[in-house]
Amino acid sequence: MTYGLFSRAAFFSAAVLLTGFVSDLHAEDTNALVKQGQYVAEASDCSACHTVSGRGNFAGGMEFKLPIGSIYSSNITPDATHGIGAYSEAEFSRAVREGVRRDGASLYPAMPFPSYARMSDADIHALYVYFMKGVQPVDQPAPSNRIAWPLSIRLPMTIWRAVFSPSIRAAQKDVMRSLPNDGIGRGAYLVEGPGHCGACHSPRGLAMQEKSLSNSSGSLFLSGGAPIDGFVPTSLRQDQRTGLAGWSEDDIVQFLATGRNRRGEAFGGMTDAIFHGTQHLTDADLHAMAQYLLSLQPHNPALSAWRYDPEAASALQAGDVSAPGAKVYVDHCAACHRSDGRGYAPAFPPLAGNPVLMSDDPASLVHVVQSGAVLPGMTRAPSAFAMPAYGNMLSSQQIADVVTFIRKAWGNNAPPVTAATVDELKKTAPEMMRKQGIIPLN
Ligand code: HEC
Ligand code: HEC
Ligand code: HEC
């Protein structure tokens, strides 16, 4: 009896222990998945579009202006009414990788599902667990889209999806293509898939589709994109002058981790991509991405290498400001960027040899001079740096002149900019400044 009781008690407590252990294991499993899913969300930059200050994490509401009206990013918190709480994992996978909402409607490709189609089942599973268990529900709807009927019925988007977005199967097959080694293969996965770098850095076609979704379809991929909110995403391939030729693996890693390095500083949409995304990645993943980027052949192999030319610096140092824009540069810019154009990195970026200066499209430069730029502190580089706004201080002609000067000096040799171009670009400046939270200085 005693024995029986003992054994029953023992069995009971063993069972309790075991259930405890199993549920602990389960909890640990869930915790590990939530953590892993959070990392995937960071690598995919979900919050750059789904988190708007003042509305709670992932509560949506970011406005995307399209030619046909405005759409808003969705509330993707696990709230059952206003968020994605009712999504099953299969429905979630369909929304993220195929652009189909739970109710069957097609999403606008402002949500980068053509890139996310490459994400692995394991990453999608972790991401789902994170959004269901690791994110606070927010009981607040995202604003409704403002697109007039009949375009609001989303039929065109269903056709768009069928034509331009790869199936999960086709995308996964491309992910599995043979790549030289582990580092580059992991980097390709992160850049082409979750990182959706091509959404900004690849050229788009007439229907706004990315002309190329991975390096396996040729050198258009990451060869530079159209301006986004006025800023030009540069080539991330090994193009001389306009691309990353000349950047070392460590230069790229440092830029993605902190938004600054000895060659330049992030601004525009890249600041968001770093702030919400890449700064959270491990060194191993950042090195893998850098190794992959360094493996990309140039899109335009005809470009010659940039070489420092001391002529402009010698003239300025001798007090010769006869070149157009030279006087504006000395009066307003040289204190930070120096007369030799080498800056004081990482606080004040160099302008000499900086790919941003040599892009065909000068929009970034006009906007940066006109509206200023702020680089926030990052976890691994807490200081913030700001460039003042000159829009109210300099005329369009002076801005054109100084931009022409910095595009030409120090061996940059990029084409000049006219006052008419500056006037044209000025029209979009207030909107950009609002988006970036920049308050004009005067
Ligand atoms: C570049 C901006 C952008 C990024 C990055 C982005 N989204 Fe979205 N997402 C949107 C927009 C815009 C919509 C709404 C599109 C529409 O209404 O057609 C949306 C819609 C969604 C929906 C549909 C929800 C619904 O029922 O309306 C889900 C789910 C979603 N996103 C999840 C994610 C996840 C998870 C990530 C990160 C892996 C992510 N998004 C990254 C812009 C983005
Ligand atoms: C929302 C748009 C956007 C996304 C997404 C984006 N970028 Fe950028 N990126 C830009 C813009 C605009 C610039 C030019 C401004 C600057 O240099 O910061 C840029 C610049 C860069 C530069 C510096 C190039 C130079 O010549 O100064 C690197 C490196 C870079 N991006 C890498 C990446 C990688 C890797 C990803 C994906 C993880 C990515 N970007 C995603 C918009 C974007
Ligand atoms: C007070 C110091 C300061 C002054 C003065 C200044 N800048 Fe800047 N500049 C910066 C900082 C800091 C950045 C980086 C901002 C960022 O990345 O958000 C920057 C960025 C830039 C960039 C983009 C390069 C890159 O890689 O980020 C250009 C182009 C530029 N400045 C041109 C000018 C011109 C032209 C003037 C004069 C009209 C000027 N700057 C005056 C501090 C300054």
Pocket of ligand 3, candidates 254, 387, 435: which has the most ligand atoms within 8 Å of its Cβ, to mutate? 387
DSSP state of 217: G
Distance CA 434, CA 266 (A): 18
Q: Which fold has domain 311-436?
A: Cytochrome Bc1 Complex; Chain D, domain 2 (1.10.760)
Please count the other Cβ atoms lying within 10 Å of the Cβ belonging to residue 371: 23
Residue closest via CA to ligand 1's atom 32 equals 96
Specify which residues 160 forms β-bridges with. none
Distance CA 110, CA 419 (A): 33
Q: Which atom of ligand 1 is nearest to the CA of 199?
A: 1
Give me ligand 2 centre to Cα 225, in Å.
10
Instruction: Assign 265 to helix, strand or coil.
Output: strand
Token pair in block for residue 431: 């909107």
Ligand 2 pocket member 422 (CB < 6 A): no
CA 301-411-250 angle, to 5 degrees, is 65
Give me ligand 2 centre to Cα 26, in Å.
40
pLDDT of residue 91: 98
pLDDT of residue 47: 96
Give me ligand 3 centre to Cα 344, in Å.
11
pLDDT of residue 431: 60
pLDDT of residue 383: 96
pLDDT of residue 146: 84
Ligand 3 pocket member 264 (CB < 6 A): yes
Q: Which amino acid is at 65?
A: K
Q: Which atom of ligand 3 is nearest to the CA of 390?
A: 38
pLDDT of residue 286: 98
Pocket of ligand 3, candidates 329, 337, 354: which has the most ligand atoms within 8 Å of its Cβ, to mutate? 337
Task: Look up the pTM and report it.
Answer: 0.92
Give me ligand 2 centre to Cα 93, in Å.
27
Q: Which atom of ligand 3 is nearest to the CA of 354?
A: 26
Break the chain into its structural domains and give their ranges. Answer: 29-176, 311-436
Ligand nearest to the CA of 66: 1
Give me ligand 3 centre to Cα 257, in Å.
20
Distance CA 287, CA 314 (A): 38
Torsion of CA 394, 400, 401, 404, to 10 degrees: 140
Distance CA 138, CA 51 (A): 11
Ligand 2 pocket member 189 (CB < 6 A): no
Torsion of CA 182, 187, 189, 190, to 10 degrees: 140
Pocket of ligand 2, candidates 190, 200, 274, 282: which has the most ligand atoms within 8 Å of its Cβ, to mutate? 200
- CA nearest neighbour of 96 among 111, 75, 106: 111
Give me ligand 2 centre to Cα 268, in Å.
9
Ligand nearest to the CA of 270: 2
Q: pLDDT tens-digit profile of 212-230? A: 999 998 899 999 999 888 8
Residue closest via CA to ligand 2's atom 6 equals 197
Ligand nearest to the CA of 86: 1
Ligand 1 pocket member 74 (CB < 6 A): yes
Q: pLDDT tens-digit profile of 264-320? A: 999 999 999 999 999 999 999 999 999 999 999 999 999 999 999 999 999 999 999
Give me ligand 2 centre to Cα 120, in Å.
24
Distance CA 399, CA 402 (A): 5
Listed as ranges, residues in the chain with pLDDT below 70 are 1-28, 181, 429-442
